[in-house]
Structures are given as structure tokens and as C-alpha cells.
């Protein structure tokens, strides 16, 4: 029996996806897909949103659409079970964004914590592109066009989903119950909400060069793990180590499973034992990093293998995306029909309006 849950989520194609994306949302999407507890599931590549701060470099966005699509497929997203599409190919999303702009004040957008953070990171200050500034409105349109009930996303996206909910609620208040108010679905493992960069910085970011990408070779992954930021005060093996701010242990919290110890480090029974030994001293960083490397290689190897297979037939990947766009546009167009009727701008479809006006003008 079909469920009422509709899931929508996506990524900006500004580069290949990294393990922060993977543990933060991508892995959960694959689980949700395979659980099948939904009526529909949409995963989109947000190229139009990516252009809001890459307008002078469209080739960057264009080339990364296929990179993200390959990462999706390699991670296990199945176009036979879900709909994968490209945002810019659904013009209804632009139309809905335009209508939503009348429902949001400038001051409300300025108060959005995610927008403020992103503006600061990019150094826009007073030269903020309007398209980037209205990013929450565009995201609300993406969600509402597909009547998504559930949006899997990281902690940093909570303000965006809250604003989408506000917009849907205000629209329904003015025009009648038409849209669905979405809810965020956070990662089950709290550590996965925001995985730090390999350099210890709070955010894993392509621009900071502190990412481990899903498509990287085993050698590249190992190099990054072995150079990962740990505890700067843990100089000698016998020194007591600190866990707070130690990137290696943050990654272990995100990826380590009990069965990994029997496979890669039988000296210990659990991660708690490793942490306790590290804290009292006598355990070197390199041993912990080797353990983490084995875990990440196990997780990433199937993804690398699948990606290599999909790379052999790029036209087939584009055909999959086109099919997804056709499916998505049909759904969005249906929602827009309802929106136009609610807003009373469906002039040519409203036979009652025309009939009423015929009588009104004939009575003059």
C-alpha cells in the first residue's frame, strides 16, 4: 500500500560529493530508498541554486552535474525506485519561487542563520546577489512543488526547512489549503550532522580543501587520513590524549561499527576502549589513523567500484537524468495548476469566471 510520505532532498553541483555529504544525508537517502516507506522520493541536483554564487563560472556547475549524478548512483541511489532530476530543467520551480517572494519580507530573510553564515563565508557583505539572498525562497519552492512531507538534511539546514514551513503555512492561510508543510529528517547519528574537515576546521568544505571525496582512490584517502588533524598536545605516545576537537575520533564516531574491531583491530572490543587508552596515554595517533583508514576504505571501495562502472556509459546517465526530469516536471506542473487556481490566476481554465463575466457585462 502506498504511503503518504513524500521525500525530497538534493545537493548543489559545485564539486564532487565528499564523505560529509555521505554521512550527513546521502547514506540515509539510500536507506530510505531501500526501506520503501514513502509514496514518492525525489533527489535533485540544484544547479540553478549553484549558479547564484557561480554565475560567472557556469562551466563549473555544468561539469559538476555529472559528477554529482555519478556519486548518487555510486552511493546506491536507484532511479528505478526514486526520481533523480536537475533543478533547472523544471521551470515550474522558478514560477513558484516568484509567487513565494510576495510571502517573505527582506528582514525575515536577513534573520535566516544559514543565509547569514553562507554570506559571511563567501564575503559578499553588501554585494549579495539577489538570487543567493533569496535562496531560502527557492528551496521552499523546490520542497513545496513536490508536496514533500520529509526533507533529509543536516543540522545546518534546519533554518531553511523552518522557513519553507513558514512559507507553505502563509500561502495556505491566504489562499486555502494547497501546500504541504515539510519536516526535516536529521541524521540518526548526531556526529554525522556536521562532519569536520580533515584539518580540524568545523566545516568540511571544497573551498578549504579539507574533504575526502567519495570518488578518490584508496591511496588518496589514505594520504588524507594519515595527515589528519588530531590532538596537538599528544606529542609522544605515552602522553595522555584529548578527544575533544580530535578529528580522527570524530570520524570514528561517525563510521566505526563493533564488527570493525574483529576485522581490523582485535586488541580492542569497542571504540570506548580505544578512547580510554588514548586518554590515559600509551596509544599513538598513527595506530588510530590506520584503524580509521581501514574503516573508510571498506566503506568507500564499493562506491568507487560502482562509480567506475557508471563512468563507462555517460550517455546512459544523462538519459536517466532526462527521464527523471520528465517525471519531476509532471508532478511540479500538477502542483502549479493547483497553486494558480488557489491564487485565482488560472484565467483560461476557469470556465465559471468567464461565464460570470459574460453575465455581468451583458447586464449593462
User: How many CB atoms sit inside 10 A of residue 361's CB?
Assistant: 8
Residue 154, φ and ψ in degrees, nearest 5: -80, 170
Q: Which residue has the cell 554521512?
A: 23
Give the gyration radius of the chain's Cα atoms: 24
40 bridge partner residues: 6
Q: What is the pLDDT of residue 127?
A: 80
Per-residue pLDDT at 311? 97
**Which pLDDT does position 45 carry in this prediction?**
98
CA distance 285 to 287: 6
| Alpha helix ranges (H) inside 236-313 | 247-255, 259-264, 271-280, 285-310
Cβ contact 145:87 at 8 Å: no
Pseudo-torsion of CA 45, 47, 52, 54, nearest 10°? 120
pTM of the model: 0.91
Res 291: pLDDT: 98
363 to 81, 275, 357: CA distances (angstroms): 57, 86, 10
| Res 231: pLDDT | 94
The reported pLDDT for the residue numbered 91 is 97
Collapsing DSSP to helix, strand or coil, 266 comes out as coil
- The single residue listed with the C-alpha cell 588510530 is 288
The residue count for the chain? 364
Measured distance CA(277)–CA(45) in Å, rounded: 44
Per-residue pLDDT of the chain (364 residues; tens, 9 = 90+): 345 899 999 999 999 999 989 988 899 999 999 999 999 999 999 999 999 989 999 999 999 999 999 999 999 999 999 999 999 999 999 999 999 999 999 999 888 887 777 777 777 767 888 888 899 999 999 999 999 999 988 777 888 999 999 999 999 999 999 999 999 988 776 666 678 999 988 778 777 889 999 999 999 999 999 999 999 999 999 999 999 999 999 999 999 999 999 999 999 999 999 999 999 999 999 999 999 999 999 999 999 999 999 999 999 999 999 999 999 999 999 999 999 999 999 999 989 999 999 999 998 7
Q: Which helix (H) or strand (E) holds 8?
A: strand 6-11
**Cα separation of 219 and 225, whole Å?**
10
What element of type H or E holds 40? strand 40-45
pLDDT score recorded for residue 2: 41
Amino acid at each position: 500500500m502506498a504511503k503518504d510520505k513524500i521525500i525530497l532532498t538534493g545537493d548543489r553541483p559545485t564539486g564532487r560529493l565528499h564523505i560529509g555529504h555521505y554521512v550527513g544525508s546521502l547514506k540515509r537517502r539510500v536507506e530510505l530508498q531501500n526501506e520503501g516507506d514513502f509514496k514518492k522520493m525525489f533527489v535533485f541536483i540544484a544547479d540553478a541554486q549553484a549558479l547564484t554564487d557561480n554565475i560567472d563560472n557556469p562551466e563549473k556547475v555544468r561539469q559538476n552535474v555529472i559528477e554529482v549524478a555519478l556519486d548518487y548512483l555510486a552511493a546506491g541511489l536507484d532511479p528505478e525506485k526514486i526520481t533523480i532530476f536537475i533543478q533547472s530543467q523544471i521551470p515550474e520551480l522558478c514560477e513558484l519561487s516568484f509567487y513565494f517572494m510576495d510571502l517573505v519580507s527582506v528582514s525575515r530573510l536577513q534573520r535566516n542563520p544559514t543565509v547569514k553564515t553562507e554570506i559571511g563565508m563567501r564575503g559578499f557583505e553588501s554585494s549579495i546577489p539577489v538570487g543567493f539572498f533569496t535562496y531560502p525562497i527557492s528551496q521552499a519552492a523546490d520542497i513545496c512543488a513536490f508536496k514533500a512531507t520529509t526533507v533529509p538534511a543536516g543540522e545546518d539546514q534546519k533554518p531553511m526547512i523552518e522557513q519553507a514551513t513558514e512559507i507553505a503555512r502563509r500561502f495556505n492561510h491566504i489562499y486555502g489549503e494547497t501546500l504541504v508543510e515539510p519536516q526535516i529528517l536529521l541524521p540518526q547519528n548526531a556526529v554525522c550532522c556536521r562532519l569536520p574537515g580533515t584539518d580540524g576546521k568545523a566545516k568540511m568544505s571544497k573551498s578549504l580543501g579539507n574533504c575526502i571525496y567519495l570518488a578518490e582512490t584508496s591511496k588518496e584517502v589514505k594520504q588524507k587520513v594519515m595527515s589528519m588533524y588530531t590532538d596537538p598536545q599528544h606529542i609522544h605516545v605515552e602522553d595522555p590524549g584529548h578527544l575533544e576537537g580530535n578529528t580522527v575520533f570524530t570520524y570514528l564516531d561517525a563510521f566505526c561499527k563493533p564488527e570493525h574491531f574483529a576485522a581490523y583491530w582485535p586488541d580492542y572490543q569497542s571504540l570506548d576502549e580505544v578512547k580510554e587508552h588514548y586518554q590515559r596515554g600509551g596509544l599513538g595517533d598513527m595506530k588510530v589513523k590506520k584503524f580509521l583508514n581501514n574503516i573508510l576504505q571498506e566503506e568507500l571501495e564499493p562506491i568507487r567500484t560502482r562509480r567506475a562502472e557508471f563512468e563507462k556509459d555517460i550517455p546512459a546517465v544523462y538519459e536517466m537524468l532526462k527521464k527523471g526530469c520528465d517525471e519531476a516536471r509532471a508532478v511540479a506542473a500538477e502542483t502549479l495548476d493547483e497553486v494558480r487556481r488557489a491564487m485565482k490566476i488560472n484565467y483560461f481554465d476557469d470556465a465559471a469566471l468567464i461565464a460570470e463575466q459574460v453575465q455581468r457585462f451583458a447586464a449593462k
